[in-house]
Structure 1
């Protein structure tokens, strides 16, 4: 298959590209800084003056949109929030324009999103059928992003919205920061410890994207989380067990708010999310349980 990726050089995009190449696919990376073609990967300029990527793409079987300023980097001040929001809207608008200009449309459009669309709750359990939406910055961002991405339905292109949970990997995401205190023998419960962490191994994220791309019955929102969410206190205890480090030094909520500001909501609040669509379609998680996921990521082999 010929697959166009926006955001292909990021944390998830890089892992996805490695997997696609290993499985014989041809990849087009949309980038502001194109480079020479490398094997089955070509780089096409976009989001810059006079760029007309559709003329170079010509045709594609699938589009995957992972583009946007990372929510894990930087402090959520007004300027950074604006960048997070506008980068997603701008990139998706351009992808819609590109697809509209292509005489032969792709068969599927896969767009990233996040489980932050669901309200934080200690008691609620969310599936793709859950109608409740949060009203904070992250929820508004991903909700608007999903609405915009679904406009590709106007071109009769199957659209899948991948609502990622807390993606665990060594090269990015939240895990390196979560693990650091334990490596310094200062790990402990963050906040109340009762908040849910709906996590997922980055390898399962990649496999879920491929699964959605290849299975025609997958459309609309899809929760990309492991089937066994866990509370923050137990999450920390398992990090300590895997690393053979103590879990003893609590980090109060007010400290996290002082250090991270509004972004502290990512660790102080959480949602209990179930990947119902993936499970109903027979998707097999490589890492359904946190201990094995962290063992794979943190233990040297």
Structure 2
């Protein structure tokens, strides 16, 4: 298949490129700086989101468009300017995706647009599946709703639109895990906040395998929760990190400390939601890492042997 990927240089994007190359697809990576990358067999880098860029000239016969583009949530405090960039980077990427697709002569098979479980809002007691309505009006919930609204405008240009609502993605090379593991490296890990907030996680290898599954499985459409089938509460998550790294789980971190250090971004660890991957399970997707201990052992191989 001929597949375009926007946001291919990030944590998920680089893992996805490796996975799709193994499957022998022709990949076209949309980037502001294609000159940074060397052209390889089955892999080309194309300029987009810059003046006079016309990526559509390279995308005739496209089968799938995967949009992962957007400024990271995990870097820096959420100042008003940074929050603006977080939202605009996602909305603008969707607008450019739609412009590109509208210029192609034929509909493509599938669009896969990144989204997030932040859509559902935060709750200690509710369990969410793809049929659940949002209960949230926090920054993350509002951002995801704007993101998905713009992505929905792509429906006329493809046979299917998949909205991948990512949970907390675990992996050794990026995402939120390095920040969460850091206190344990210095024997200072412990309960974060009240400890009963839910963490709906997924290993990055299951993310890229599930994206491939959605490309090939015609029944996958609409919002799809990309979370493992066994969410855990934050205190259990920390205890599992401690066990895998052979470190104590003893030093509690009160909410006010995280709020003072991270500001509004502290919501990423102080709040959460219990989200289940109902559609993936119904359609027979099998998780490589269904349990948290297995996922952390794979993600923390170096630390677990210290």
1:63 aligns with 2:65: yes
Q: State the SS of the aligned residue for 1:148.
A: helix
State the Cα distance separating 1:134 from its structure 2 match: 1.1
User: How many angstroms apart in 1 are the aligned matches of 2:159 and 2:93?
Assistant: 18
Q: State the SS of the aligned residue for 2:202.
A: strand
State the Cα distance separating 1:27 from its structure 2 match: 0.4
User: How many angstroms apart in 2 are the aligned matches of 1:147 and 1:89?
Assistant: 9
Contact 1:169 1:297 in 2 (8 A): yes
Q: State the SS of the aligned residue for 1:107.
A: strand
Aligned to 1:132: 134
Aligned to 1:232: 234
User: How many angstroms apart in 1 are the aligned matches of 2:70 and 2:272?
Assistant: 22
Gaps of 5+ in 2: none
Aligned to 1:264: 266
User: How many angstroms apart in 2 are the aligned matches of 1:133 and 1:106?
Assistant: 33
Gaps of 5+ in 1: none
Contact 2:34 2:45 in 1 (8 A): yes
CA RMSD, 1 decimal = 1.0
User: How many angstroms apart in 2 are the aligned matches of 1:297 and 1:119?
Assistant: 27
Contact 2:108 2:158 in 1 (8 A): no
1:29 aligns with 2:54: no
Contact 1:59 1:105 in 2 (8 A): no
Contact 2:229 2:290 in 1 (8 A): yes
1:125-146 Cα offsets, whole Å, 9 max, x none, are 0000001241111111111111
1:3-40 Cα offsets, whole Å, 9 max, x none, are 10000010000000011111111100001111342221
| Runs of at least 4 residues off by over 3 Å | none
TM-score computed with the length of structure 1 as normaliser = 0.98
Aligned to 1:3: 3
Aligned to 1:286: 288
1:144-293 equivalences in 2 (<5 Å)? 144-293=146-295
